[in-house]
Amino acid sequence: MSALAFTIVALLLSGPMPAMLARATWPMRAPRAAIVLWQSIALAAVLSAFSAGISIASRLFEPGPDGRPTATLTGGIATLGWPLWGAYVVVLALTLTIGVRLIGAVINVAIATRRRRARHRTLVDLVGASHHPAHLPAPCPAPLAGGLRILDVAEPLAYCLPGVRSRVVLSEGALNTLSASEITAILTHERAHLRARHDLVLEMFTAVHAAFPRWVRSAHALHAVRLLIELLADDAAVRSAGPTPLARALVACASARAPRGALAAGGPTAVIRVRRLAGRPNSRILAAGAYGAAAGVLVIPTLALAVPWLTELHRLFIA
C-alpha cells in the first residue's frame, strides 16, 4: 500500500498538478510564492518517486520463515520466487538509475552553464566598453552601473551574466533608445536577477527536467519558473522606476535575443509581462495561500506516507 500511495502521489505531482498550475493566472500576482510552490511540487514529486521505488524494492528484505529479513540473494529468491524477486530488482535498478541521472544532470547543467557564462563574460570584457559616467544619463543611480559593459550593437539589448564575476550588459542601441528612467528600470531588473541569484532556481528546474526521459518529463515547471523569475525582477524595477518606464523598456528590448546562460530583460515573455504591469497588483492573500499549499505539499505526504513506511521498515530490520 505504501508503494501504491507513493506512486499515486508522484504521478499527481508530476502530471495533473503541474498542468493545472501552469494554466492558472494567479501566479502572476504572487510570483515569489508561486516559485516556492513549484519548488515544493518538484521536490515532493522526486521524493515520492524515490519512495515508491524504494518501498517496492524493500520487499526484497521481507521476513523469512524465522521472522528475520531475507537479506541474502538466495533468501530473497526462496521467499519471493523468481518472477516477483526479479521485478523488485528491476524496480530497484530503475530507482538507482534515476537517482544517478538526477545527480549527473545537476552536475552537468551547473558545469555547462558556468563554462558558457565564463566564455561569454570573457568575450564581453574584450569587446565591450567598461562603464563610464558619460555612458549613462545623469539621473541613473551610480550603484546600478557597477560591472556594466556596453556593447556596440544598434539593437536595444539588456541582459546579465550571473555568477561570482557577474556582468550587466547593455547595448549602444539601448542607451540611444531608452530614457533615463527606462535605463534605471532595466538596470534594476538585471540587478534583481543577480542579487537574488535567480539563475540557481532556474538551474534546479533545468536539471530535474533533463534528468527524466522525454516521454516522462513535462516542460510546464521549467517554462513557468522562467516567467516567474522575470516577474520578480520586474517587481523590483517597478519599485525603483515605476511601471511605465519598465513597460517601455521591455517593449524596446522585446525582440532582442540574449546568449544561453544569460537572463535577459526582453525576450518572448515581454508582451505577457507588459500586460501584467497594467493589471491588478500583487496579492498578499494569494501569496499566503500559495505558501500554505507549498507547505502542505511537502508536509502532508511526509506525515501520511513516509513516517508509517519508515516505521514499518525500522520494525522489519530489527525483527
In a domain, 123, yes or no: yes
Domain with 198, as residue range(s), is 99-282
Tell which phi-psi region holds residue 230, choosing left (phi > 0), alpha (psi between -120 and 50) or beta: alpha
Give pTM, 2 decimals: 0.85
In a domain, 302, yes or no: no
pLDDT of residue 54: 77
Sequence-separated (6 or more) residues with CB below 8 Å from residue 33: 286, 287, 288, 289, 290, 291, 294
Instruction: List Cα–Cα distances, 186 to 241, 302, 311, in angstroms.
Output: 9, 42, 54
Q: Which three cell numbers stand for residue 282?
A: 500583487
pLDDT of residue 65: 61
Sequence-separated (6 or more) residues with CB below 8 Å from residue 240: 184, 185, 188
In a domain, 71, yes or no: no
pLDDT of residue 63: 60
pLDDT of residue 144: 58
pLDDT of residue 99: 85
Which stretches in the chain have pLDDT values below 50? 133, 142
DSSP state of 139: T
3-class secondary structure, 318: coil
pLDDT of residue 189: 95
Q: Which three cell numbers stand for residue 103?
A: 545527480
pLDDT of residue 310: 67
In a domain, 296, yes or no: no
In a domain, 310, yes or no: no
In a domain, 217, yes or no: yes
**Are the C-beta atoms of residues 208 and 43 closer than 8 Å to each other?**
no
pLDDT of residue 308: 62
pLDDT of residue 194: 93
In a domain, 32, yes or no: no
> What is the total count of domains within the chain?
1
In a domain, 129, yes or no: yes
